Amino acid sequence: MDELPLSLPALLPGHVWLVGAGPGDPGLLSLLALHALRQADIIVYDALVDPRILDLANPAAEREFAGKRGGKPSAKQPDISKRLIELARAGRKVARLKGGDPFVFGRGAEEALALVEAAIPFRVVPGITAGVGGLAYAGIPCTTRETNSAVVFVTGQDASGAIPETIEWDALARAVPVLVFYMALTKIERIAATLMAAGRAADEPAAVISRASTPAQQVVVSTLAGIAEAAGSARCEPPALLVIGPVVGLRDRLDWLTSQT
């Protein structure tokens, strides 16, 4: 394979790199992420990794699926961490490929802590998180000077599958103009009702971005009160983001992706 025209660190035997694959489009991979895929002799990858990204890897590399999907049979996190340690101790060059960014709702920190405990050398290769890249591909900016000086990323469900009870929803509803919820597709109605009960306007713009930055991307725009029904009628599928705030209103002018197709 062609070498990259840069001096980049080597993925050594017995080392694990936690690599962010971005939201989907292979073009959003970093150079260091591509470098890791070309060097690895085994790639342990998540369910949300686009197959086209795996096609960029070293053809001789072994591929091992370790996906986790809500509501479906999935590998357990302790088992994934244990497997990374086993592979590293066997002298393998391990690329742990994760959708988005490993440290943004990606359990990357849990895996890194397990590697630390086992004295396994590792590197984190950040990726473009869906809350940034997915919004950009939908024509929705995270911030503009005219609309908001803050944005918050929130998980739509906790470890039990419910909306997080540790969040101060009243404060969240009042304090931040733009909210981006990950893993919220099945919780949209509950999230919207909770925010409106806390004072958020029912007619505030909201959008669901399904399978962001992939050929199957789907964007549904409505109001906070209507977004759950709109997403259901459109049969949006996971992974999906829920975006709430004035930036959603810019999509009709900034939807660059649709204008190119």
Q: What amino acid occupies position 132? A: V
183 in active site: yes
255 in active site: no
46 in active site: yes
The rounded distance, in Å, linking the Cα atoms of 26 and 179 is 26
For residue 51, the tally of other CB atoms under 10 A from its CB is 8
* Catalytic member of 25, 98, 101, 183: 183
The rounded distance, in Å, linking the Cα atoms of 177 and 84 is 40
* Catalytic member of 68, 170, 196, 255: 68
* Catalytic member of 25, 46, 50, 101: 46
Task: Give the chain as a 3 state SS string.
Answer: CCCCCCCCCCCCCCCEEEEECECCCHHHCCHHHHHHHHHCCEEEECCCCCHHHHCCCCCCCEEEECCCCCCCCCCCHHHHHHHHHHHHHCCCCEEEEECECCCCCCCHHHHHHHHHHCCCCEEEECCCCHHHHHHHHCCCCCCECCCECCEEEEECCCCCCCCCCCCCHHHHHHHCCEEEEECCHHHHHHHHHHHHHCCCCCCCEEEEEECCCCCCCEEEEEECCCHHHHHHHCCCCCCEEEEECHHHHHHHHHCHHHHCC
Which active-site residues does the annotation give? 46, 68, 183
